[in-house]
Structure 1
Amino acid sequence: MNSTQRIYFNWYDHVFFAFMLLLSTAIGIYFSFTSRQNKNITNEYFMGNKKMFVFPIAMSLVASHVSSVTLMSVPADVYQFGAMYGLSIISIFFVCFATSYVYLPVFYGLQLNSTYEYLKLRFNASIRSYCSLLFIFNSILYMSIVVYVPALAYSQATGISIYYVIPFICAICTLYTTIGGIKAVVWTDTLQFIITAGAIAVVFILGLNKAGGIGNVLEVAKRGDRLSFDFDLDLTTRETVFAVLMHWFLTYIRLTATSPECILKFLALPTLKKAQQSIFLFCFGIILIKLIVVLTGLILFTIYYGCDPVKAGLVEKNDQLVPFYVADMAAGIPGLTGLFISGVFCTGLSTLSASLNALSATVYQDFISKYYPELDKNGRTGFIIKFLVVAMGAVIAVLALMVEHLGPILPLAISVSSITAGSFLGLFTLGMLCPRANSKGALWGIFSSTLIVGWMFIGSQWYKAQGLLKSDPKYLSVDNCTLDISLTNITTTMSIPQESNTIFYLYKISHYYYSLIGTTVCIAVGLIVSYATKSKKEVRRELISPVVHYLFDNKKKMKNFVTSTLHKEDGNYRSIYKANQILEDNSVEMTEFRTKTIT
C-alpha cells in the first residue's frame, strides 16, 4: 500500500462489468416481448399480472433497500463514529411484524396501483395529490444521492469523470425499466443482488482474515471506542440508542409498509400469505446485510487503526474509504475489483429501477389518468408510462451531478429521506389506525409535519455549509503509520469553533430524530384537528387496519342493541337519541354502554 494506491480496472474487470449490464438489459428486453400479449398494460407493467414468486420478490426488496449508500457509506460512518448503526437490526425485526399485520392487509385488500390512491379513498383527492407531489420530489432527491455513490466508485476504478458515469448509469437503468416493467425490475434486482452479495461476502471474508479474525476486530473496536453505546436523551447528540432505534424503525416501516416501491412488489404476488412470507424473507436478508456492513466498518477501523487514510492524505474524503480498502484487499486477486464495483453498481441500479417504476406509477395513476381517463381506452397508456420513466431518469441524472458538493453521504441521505418519511408514515397511520381521523386533520397534520422537518433540514444544511455545525468523528490518528508519507500529505482535523449559542436549537437536532419528529407532529396535529372538526363521513371497514377492526365490531353490536332492545321494550325515543350520542365515542365498551343507556 502506498500513497498512490487506488482501485482500478483491468481488462477482465471490464468484461465482467459489461456482462452484468448486458444481462440486465437482456432481462428487460425479454419481458418486453412476453408482456405484449397482455391487454391490460397497467396491470402487467406495474404488478406483473400477479404471477410473481416469493423468492424473487424478497430478493428484489432486499436489493432495492441495500443501496449504494449502504454498501459504501455505512462502513465509512461506522469507521468514524462507531457501531451504533448496528442497532437498526433490532428495529427491522419489529418492522416485519408491523408491516405484515398492520399495514399490508389494507393495501392488499384494496389492490391499488398507487399507495396514494388509498389517501383519496380514506380522506380526499387533495391529500392524495399533495402526498404524491411530496413523494415525487423526495424520491428524485434521494435517488440522485443513490446514483452518485456508484458513479464515484466507478470513476475511481476507471478514471472516467462522474459527469460521464452518472448519465451512463441512469441510461442503462432507465432502458431496462422502461421496456420491461415490474418483471424486469424484480428479476434484474434478483440478479444484481446475487452479484452484490458475492462482492460483499468476498471483500468481507478477505478483510476479516487480514484483520486477524472477529475476536481481534471486536477487541480493537472496543479499544478504539467503536462499540460504546450512548443512552443520552439530548436531541442534539448525533447518535444515541433511542435515536437510532426509533429512526430505523420508523424509516423501514415507511419504506416497507407505505412506499409505492414495496407495495407494488407485494401486490405482484398472488395471495396475501405469500406477500407476508416475502416480508419475513426480506427482513432476514436485510438484517444479514446490515450486520455484514457494520462489521466491515469495524474491519476498516482494525486495519487502519492508528493510520487514518484521510488524515494521511491517501484519500480525499471518508466516502472513498471503502474503495481504498477494496484496493488493499484486491491486490493480487484478479477480478475482485470488477466484482466489487459491479456489486456497488448493482445496488444503485436496483434501487433506481424500483424507484423509477414507482415514480411512473404514481405520476400516471395520481395525475395523468385522473384527468385523462380516455388514455386507458385508446392504447396510449404504454407509451406515456415509458415516457415518464425516461423523463424521471433524466431529471435524477442532472441532480446527481450536484451531490458531490453537499457533504458526507450517509447523514445527507438520512436527512433527505426523512423530510417526508415521518409525514407519510404519520398520515397512513392516522388513516389506518385512527377511525376518527378526518380529511381536515390529515391535511393539517402532514402540512405541519413537512413544514417543520423541511425547515429543520434546510437550516441544518445551511449551517453545515458555513462550517458552524458539524459532527466530529471519534479519535483517529496517523501515529502508527508505517507508510512513506511526507508530512505535507498529513492533514489534521481542526475543529472550527461552533457558535452553538447563536444557532437555533431545531437546526442542531440530530438527523436521526427527523423521522420521529415528522411522525409525531403529523399524528398529533391530525388527531387534534380531527376531534375539533368532527366529520359525519363514515369510514369503510376495509380502509382500516385489521388490528382496530374491533372498534367497528363493537359499534355494530351497540347499534343492534339500540334498535332491537330499547325500541322494542319501551319505545323511548329520547333514550335511543342518548344512546346514539354515546355511540359517537368508539372507545365506549359494551358493558358501559348498557349501564348508561338503561339507567
Structure 2
Amino acid sequence: MENPAANITGTAPLIYFQWYDHAFFGFMLFLSTAIGIYFSITGANKKNITDEYFMGGKKMSVMPIAVSLVASHISSVSLMAVPADVYSFGAMYWLSTISIMVSAFATSYIFLPVFYELQLNSTYEYLMLRFNSSIRTMCSLFFILNILLFMGIVVYVPALAYSKATGLSVHYIIPAICAICTFYTTIGGLKTVVWTDTLQFSVTSTAVVVIFYLGVTKAGGFTNVFQTAWEGSRLHFDFDLDLTKRETVFAVLMHWFLSYTRMLSTSQECVLKFLSLPTLKKAQQSIFLFCFGIICVKSIIVITGLIMFTLYKDCDPLMSGSISKIDQLVPFYVADVASKVPGLTGLFLSGVFCTALSTLSAIMNALSATIYQDFVAKFLPKFAKQEQYTSITIKLLVVVMGVLITFLASLVGYLGPIQPLAISVASISAGSFFGLFTLGVLVPRANTKGAFSGVIISTLFVGWMFVGAQWYRSKDMIKNIPTHLSTEQCTFEVPVVENNSTILDAPTDIFFLYRVASYYYALTGCVVCIAVGIVVSLLTDHGGHVDKRLLSPLVHRWLPEDAGKDDYFSIDKANRIVTSLDLQNLQDANKNVSKV
C-alpha cells in the first residue's frame, strides 16, 4: 500500500471557498432565518408568551428535540479539538460513550421527574424553592458568566477557519453571523432553536460522514486503522488509579458521567427542551434518542483521530512544520483527504459553523430564560408583566445576549492562553453546582446553610487546585508529550526537533493536589460540595420537612409518611412555592400557610 505520509508536502493544504461554497453557506443561513420568521408568525397570537417562547407551547415532538440536543452538544470545539487529542494521546475519550448511557438513566429517573412535575421556566428557580433566593441568584450569575465566556470561544473558532477560507476578517464575520443567529432566535423562540438545530445538524452530519468515509478509504480501511492505532498505543486503556495521570479509565468515566448528567439534568438549555414535550415519558424518550445520536457522533469523531494517526504518524504535521499548532490538524486533514472533491471542504467548514450556530441559538434562548425568570421578572411593575410586555422584554434580552457574545468572540483572538482558561473556569464550577442540585434532589436533610457552605467551599477548593496546576504548567514543570510520532517518512526536509518519545510526568516534589489530572476537577467539586453540605446540614438541622415534590421519587420511600401533607412552611417560603408552582398541585401546601 502507498505510504499515506508520502503525499504530505511541506506546507499545509488550505481550504478555499468557491462560489458554490458561498452559495450553499448563504442558503443555509437563509433557511435558518426563514424558520425563525415562520414560527414568529405562527406563534404570535399565543396567549402564554412565556411557555410558547421558552418551551414551544409544550407541544414539541420527540425526534426534533432529540436531534436539537445532539446538535447543541456537538460544538465546533468538539469537531476540531477531540480528533487532534485522540491523534496525540489515544482513544480514551471513547469511554465517554459509556458514561453517556449511564447519565441518560440518571437523568430520566432521578432529576427529570422533579423538574417535569414542577414545570419551572428556570432550573435555578428550583434552588430558590429548595433552599433560598440567595443561592438561586449566585448560581444563576455563575451560569451566565461561564456560558458567555465559553460561547465567545465557540463562535470564534469557526469564524477563524471561515476567515482563512474566504480572506474576510473575523471582525466582519463574527458580527454578521451572530446578528443572523440573534435575529432568528429572537423572533422565533424555542421552536426556531429546535428546527434550525435540526437543519444545521443535517449539514454537519453530512459533512462529517463524507469526510469520515474518504479518510477511512485513504487510510486503507478500518482494519488497517485499528491495527495501526493499537501498535501506536492509541487503543490502550490505562486502569491505573493514580490521580496524577492525564487519562485513566476511571478518570474519564467519572468525568464524563458527571459532565453529561449535569448538562442533561440541570442545564437550562436541556431542561427547557425536555419541558417542551407534552409528557414525562416523551421527555425520557428524547433523552435515550439523544444518547444514541451522541454516541454515534462521538464514535465517528474518535475514529477520525485514529485515521489521522494512521495517515500522519510517520510524518507528523506539527513536528514537520506543516502546521504551527495541533488545533490546525483537523483542517489540514480535511483539505488533504477532500481536496479532489469540489465543494466538500466548504461543506465541512459550513458544518463546523453550523455546530456553533446550534450551540449559540440554544444558549441564547436559555440565557434569556434564566435572566428573565431569575433577575428581571421580579422587578417589573404589574403592568409590565402582561403578555405583550413580557414578549418585548424576553426578546430584548436575547438581543443583549447576542451583542455580548459578539463582543466577547471578537476579543478571543487577542486573549491567547486565556481561551483554555475560560473553559477550565467553567469546569471548575460545574462539579460544585451539580453537587448542589444533587444535595437538593437526593438529600432530604440538606438545608440552606449546608448547600451554601458546600458550593462555596468546593468551588474555592477546586479553584485553588487549578491555579496551582496552571502555575506549574506555565513553568513547563507539568506537561504531556505525545508518543509514537515521528518525521521519518516525510518527503521534504523538516526542522530538527527534540525527542518526544516519552511522556514527561510532573515531578513528585510538586504538591500532590497540583498534580491531580484535570479530569478529576468535576468529581472533586461534586464530592466536596455534597460532603460539606451534608455535614453542615446535620449540624444545623432545624428538624423540618421538605415538600416531596422537590425531591426525586427515588428517595420518597425514605420520607416520613406525612411528608408533603403536613409540612410546615414559613410565610416567605409558602409565598415562593405558591407563586412558582401549580396552585392546584399545592392545595395541601396552602392549608399549612394558615398554621404560620
Give the match for residue 536 of structure 1: 543
Query: Aligned pair count?
Result: 555
Does the CA-based 8 Å contact 2:161-2:349 persist in structure 1? yes
Q: In structure 2, what residue type is equivalent to 1:160?
A: L
**Amino acid corresponding to residue 425 of structure 1 in structure 2:** F
Map 1:185-204 → 2, pairs under 5 A: 185-204=193-212
In the alignment, what sits opposite 2:186? 178
Please give the alpha-carbon distance, in whole angstroms, between the structure 1 residues aligned to 2:265 and 2:532.
22
Contact 2:465 2:514 in 1 (8 A): yes
Does structure 1 residue 325 correspond to structure 2 residue 333? Answer: yes
SS where residue 470 of structure 1 aligns?
A: coil
Determine if contact 1:141/1:416 at 8 Å carries over to the other structure.
no
Tell me if the contact between 2:15 and 2:346 (Cα under 8 Å) persists in the aligned partners: no
The 2-side partners of 1:235 and 1:402 are apart by: 35
Q: State the partner residue of 2:559.
A: 552
| Residue among 422, 430, 437 paired with 1:428 | 437
Partner of 1:299: 307
Q: What is the alpha-carbon distance in structure 2 between the residues aligned to residue 320 and residue 161 of structure 1?
A: 18
* Contact 1:59-1:189 at 8 Å conserved across structures: yes
Deviation string 1:73-120 (CA, Å, 9 cap, x unpaired) is 100000001000000011011111111111000000000000000011
Amino acid at match of 1:269: L
Match of 2:579 in 1: none
Pairing 1:461–2:470 present: yes
| Partner residue, 1:157 | 165
* Alpha-carbon shift at residue 501 of structure 1 (Å): 5.9
CA gap 1:465/1:159 in 2 versus in 1, 3 angstroms: farther
User: In 2 relative to 1, CA 403–461 (structure 1 residues): closer, same or farther, beyond 3 Å?
Assistant: farther
Distance 1:401 1:502, change over 3 A: farther
1:69 aligns with 2:77: yes
Contact 2:21 2:347 (C-alpha < 8 Å) held by counterparts: yes
- 1:271 maps to 2:279: yes
**Aligned AA (2:481):** D
d(CA) in 2 for partners of 1:408, 1:323: 23
Is 1:392 matched up with 2:376? no
- What stretches of structure 2 of length at least 5 have no aligned partner? 1-7, 567-596
Name structure 1 gaps, 5 residues minimum: 560-599
One of 505, 514, 536 as aligned partner of 2:512: 505
Deviations 1:220-276 (A, max 9, x none): 111111111112222221111111000000000000011001000000011111101
1:229 match: secondary structure = coil
**Residues in 2 aligned to 1:464 and 1:161: alpha-carbon distance in whole angstroms:** 33
Letter in 2 for 1:383: I
Answering whether residue 341 of structure 2 is matched by residue 343 of structure 1, we say: no
**Counterpart AA for 2:20:** Y
Q: Which residue of structure 1 aligns with residue 593 of structure 2?
A: none
Q: Counterpart amino acid of 1:28?
A: G
Q: Does 1:449 align with 2:458?
A: yes
User: Which of residues 14, 38, 41 is equivalent to 2:49?
Assistant: 41
Asked if 1:381 corresponds to 2:390, the answer is yes
Do residues 92 (structure 1) and 100 (structure 2) align? Answer: yes
Q: Could you state the TM-score of these two structures normalised by the residue count of structure 1?
A: 0.88
* Aligned equivalents of 2:326, 2:173: Cα separation in 1: 21
* Pair 1:234–1:192, CA change in 2 (3 A): same
Q: Please, what is the CA RMSD of the aligned residues?
A: 2.3
Distance 1:481 1:114 in 2: 55
**Bigger-Rg structure (1/2):** 1
Give how far 1:414 is off.
Answer: 5.7
Following TM superposition, by how much is the alpha carbon of 1:378 offset from its aligned partner in structure 2, in angstroms?
Answer: 7.1
Amino acid aligned to 1:377: Q
Q: Secondary structure at the match of 2:318?
A: coil
| Contact kept in structure 2, 1:109 and 1:542, CA below 8 Å | yes
Alignment partner, residue 533 of structure 2: 526
Counterparts of 1:227 and 1:427 in 2: how far apart (Å)?
36
2:429–2:459: 8 Å Cα contact kept in structure 1? Answer: yes
Contact map agreement 1:310 1:491 (CA 8 A) in 2: no
Q: 1:523 and 1:408 mapped to 2: Cα distance?
A: 30
Change (3 A) 1:178 1:424: same
Is 533-542 or 276-285 further displaced after alignment?
533-542
**Does 2:294 match 1:286?**
yes
| Residue of structure 1 in register with 2:155 after alignment | 147
Distance 1:403 1:225, change over 3 A: farther
Secondary structure of 1:225 counterpart: coil
> In structure 2, do the counterparts of structure 1 residues 128 and 213 end up closer, same or farther at CA, with 3 Å as the change threshold?
same
Per the TM alignment, residue 373 of structure 1 is displaced from its structure 2 partner at its CA by: 5.2
Give the TM-score, by structure 2 length: 0.89
Which segment drifts farther, 520-529 or 329-338? 329-338
Q: In structure 1, what is the equivalent of residue 524 of structure 2?
A: 517
1:60 aligns to 2:68 (yes or no): yes
CA contact 1:319–1:408 (8 Å) conserved in 2? no
Counterpart mapping for 1:579-594 below 5 A: none
Tell me the amino acid that sits aligned with residue 536 of structure 2. V
CA–CA distance in structure 2, aligned partners of residues 502 and 338 of structure 1: 50
| Whole-angstrom distance in 1 between the partners of 2:468 and 2:176 | 33
Match of 2:426 in 1: 417
Determine the C-alpha separation between the residues in 1 that align with 2:101 and 2:478.
Answer: 34
Per the TM alignment, residue 555 of structure 1 is displaced from its structure 2 partner at its CA by: 6.2
Is the contact made by 1:92 and 1:248 (CA closer than 8 Å) also made in structure 2?
yes
